[in-house]
Amino acid sequence: MKAVVAGAPVSRSVVKRFVAGEKTEDAVAATRTLAADGLTASLDHLGEDTVEAGQAEATVQAYLVLLQRLGEAGLTSGGRAEVSVKLSAVGQTIDRSLALDNARRICEGARNAGTTVTLDMEDHTTTDATLETVRELRLDFPDTGAVLQAYLRRTEGDCRDLAAEGSRVRLCKGAYKEPESVAYQSDGEVDRAYVRCLKVLMAGEGYPMVASHDPRLIAIADRLAEKRAKGTYEYQMLFGIRPGEQRRLAAQGESVRVYVPYGDEWYGYLMRRLAERPANIAFFLRALATTS
Ligand code: FDA
C-alpha cells in the first residue's frame, strides 16, 4: 500500500507536501529551508505505538543522530530546531519507566545540542501518564514542553496547573477520536474551549505555544498576546499547512515554529490522520488546494 501511495501522482504530492522526507538529512534540509525564512522547527521522527523495546531503542537513536546533525549544522542554537517526541514511540505501551528513561536520553541529547524536547500528546488514556512524565523530566530538564488538547474537558484545569513560569505548553485542538464523556464533540465547543484555555495560558507566567491553523483562533491569540512581549509565546503549524500564513506571521516579527514530521513511517502518519477523523480528509485536501 505504501508503494502504491508513494507512486500515485496525487498522493505522492500529498506525502511530499506534509512529510519532510525519510532520512535524517531530509529533516535537516527542511529545517534549514525553514530557518532561511525566519521559521523555527520541531522535528518528529515518525512512528508510534511501538510494542518492541528494540524498535523504541531505534527511535531513540534516530532522535540522537538527528539532534547531533542539527547541532553540527548550527540549527539548534537558542532552541531554533527542537524535537517532538511521542511517548508511545519510545516504549510507553511496553513499560512507562522504559518510556521515561528513553525520553530522558533524548532530553540529554537535546541539551547537548543546545535545544529542547516537547512531548506530543496522544489519546486521552495516556494524558495522565504523559503529564506525569513531563513533570518528572522537568526536574532535570525544566524546558521540556507539554502539549494540551483543547477538546478534552479536563484541559482548562491542566492549563491552570501548567501556566507557571518557564513552562512551555503547546495548545492544540486535539487529533484523536475521543468519547463524549471526556471530550467536546462539536467544532463550536472545541473552539470555545480553545479560547478559554488560551486565555489561561496567555495570562499565566509560562510560554504558550499556539498550535492551530484556524484564522479565528490565531486572530484571538494575537489580541490576547498584546500585553506580552514578542518572543514570550509562539505560533505553531504543521509542515506544509498554510505555509503562506507561517511566513506572514514571521514577517510580522512573531515566533513561528513548524512541526516537521520525517521518517519512513510516514504512511501511518498520513493514513492514521485520514482514518481517525473524517474531518481530516477535508483538512488535508484543503491544505493541498491552498498555500495561504
Ligand atoms: P481545524 O482543522 O479545525 O481548522 C480550522 C480552520 O482553520 C478551518 O476552518 C480553516 O479556516 C483553517 N484551516 C485549517 N487548515 C487550513 C488550510 N490548510 N488552509 C487554509 N485554511 C485552513 N494533536 C494532538 O492530538 N496531539 C499533539 O501533540 C498535536 N501536536 C500538534 C502540533 C502542531 C504544531 C499542530 C499545528 C497541531 C498538532 N496537533 C496535535 C493536531 C491538532 O490537534 C489538530 O488536529 C490540527 O492542528 C487541526 O486543527 P486546527 O486548529 O489547525 O484547525
How many Å lie between the centroid of ligand 1 and the Cα of residue 173? 7
Position with higher pLDDT, 150 vs 1: 150
Retrieve residue 216's grid coordinates: 479565528
pLDDT in tens, 228-286: 999 999 999 999 889 999 999 999 999 999 999 999 888 877 776 666 556 667 767 77
How many Å lie between the centroid of ligand 1 and the Cα of residue 172? 7
What's the confidence (pLDDT) of residue 59? 97
Give the lowest-confidence range in 10-14, 23-27, 88-92: 10-14
The finding on whether 143 has its CB within 6 A of some atom of ligand 1 is: no
How many Å lie between the centroid of ligand 1 and the Cα of residue 189? 15
Domain containing residue 62: CATH number: 3.20.20.220
The finding on whether 173 has its CB within 6 A of some atom of ligand 1 is: yes
In a domain, 159, yes or no: no
How many Å lie between the centroid of ligand 1 and the Cα of residue 211? 7
- Round to whole Å and give the CA distance between 4 and 14: 13
What's the confidence (pLDDT) of residue 16? 80
Question: CA angle 189-194-197, nearest 5°?
Answer: 125
How many Å lie between the centroid of ligand 1 and the Cα of residue 53? 31
Q: Is the pLDDT of residue 9 over 60?
A: no
Q: Which residue bears the cell 515554529?
A: 257
In a domain, 88, yes or no: yes
User: Catalytic amino acids?
Assistant: 120, 170
What's the confidence (pLDDT) of residue 261? 96
pLDDT in tens, 171-190: 999 999 999 999 999 999 99
In a domain, 198, yes or no: no
Position with higher pLDDT, 19 vs 286: 19
Contact in structure between 239 and 30 (CB atoms under 8 Å) = yes
How, if at all, do strands 207-211 and 146-149 pair?
Answer: unpaired
- Round to whole Å and give the CA distance between 43 and 117: 9
In a domain, 192, yes or no: no
Q: Is the pLDDT of residue 1 over 90?
A: no
Position with higher pLDDT, 15 vs 288: 15
- Round to whole Å and give the CA distance between 274 and 112: 36
What's the confidence (pLDDT) of residue 278? 66
288: left (phi over 0), alpha (psi -120 to 50) or beta: alpha
Within 13 Å and on the Cβ side, how many CA atoms surround 119?
35
SS3 category, 172: strand
From 169, 213, 218, the mutation candidate for ligand 1 (largest count of ligand atoms within 8 A of CB) is 213
State what percent of residues in the chain have pLDDT above 90.
79
In a domain, 187, yes or no: no
Q: Which atom of ligand 1 is nearest to the CA of 191?
A: 3
How many Å lie between the centroid of ligand 1 and the Cα of residue 191? 11
The finding on whether 284 has its CB within 6 A of some atom of ligand 1 is: no
What's the confidence (pLDDT) of residue 17? 81
Kindly report the protein residue whose alpha carbon is nearest to atom 8 of ligand 1.
Answer: 214
Kindly report the protein residue whose alpha carbon is nearest to atom 7 of ligand 1.
Answer: 214
- Round to whole Å and give the CA distance between 140 and 144: 9
What's the confidence (pLDDT) of residue 15? 76
What's the confidence (pLDDT) of residue 286? 75
Number of independent structural domains in the chain: 1
Kindly report the protein residue whose alpha carbon is nearest to atom 22 of ligand 1.
Answer: 213
Kindly report the protein residue whose alpha carbon is nearest to atom 17 of ligand 1.
Answer: 287
What's the confidence (pLDDT) of residue 269? 76
What's the confidence (pLDDT) of residue 288? 67
57, with CB counted inside 10 A (0-12, 13-18, 19+), is middle
Kindly report the protein residue whose alpha carbon is nearest to atom 15 of ligand 1.
Answer: 213
Contact in structure between 31 and 75 (CB atoms under 8 Å) = yes
Q: Is the pLDDT of residue 63 over 70?
A: yes
pLDDT in tens, 41-62: 999 999 878 889 999 999 999 9
The finding on whether 213 has its CB within 6 A of some atom of ligand 1 is: yes
The finding on whether 236 has its CB within 6 A of some atom of ligand 1 is: yes
- Round to whole Å and give the CA distance between 42 and 82: 5
State what percent of residues in the chain have pLDDT above 70.
89
Retrieve residue 8's grid coordinates: 500515485
Which residues sit opposite 172 in a β-bridge? 149
What's the confidence (pLDDT) of residue 148? 98
Q: Which atom of ligand 1 is nearest to the CA of 273?
A: 45
pLDDT in tens, 116-164: 999 999 999 999 999 999 999 999 999 999 999 999 999 999 999 999 9
The finding on whether 171 has its CB within 6 A of some atom of ligand 1 is: no
In a domain, 55, yes or no: yes
What's the confidence (pLDDT) of residue 274? 66
What's the confidence (pLDDT) of residue 264? 87
In a domain, 6, yes or no: no
Query: What residues make up the domain containing 83?
Result: 21-131+175-181+209-218+228-289
In a domain, 204, yes or no: no
Retrieve residue 191's grid coordinates: 473552539
Q: What is the DSSP letter of 176?
A: S
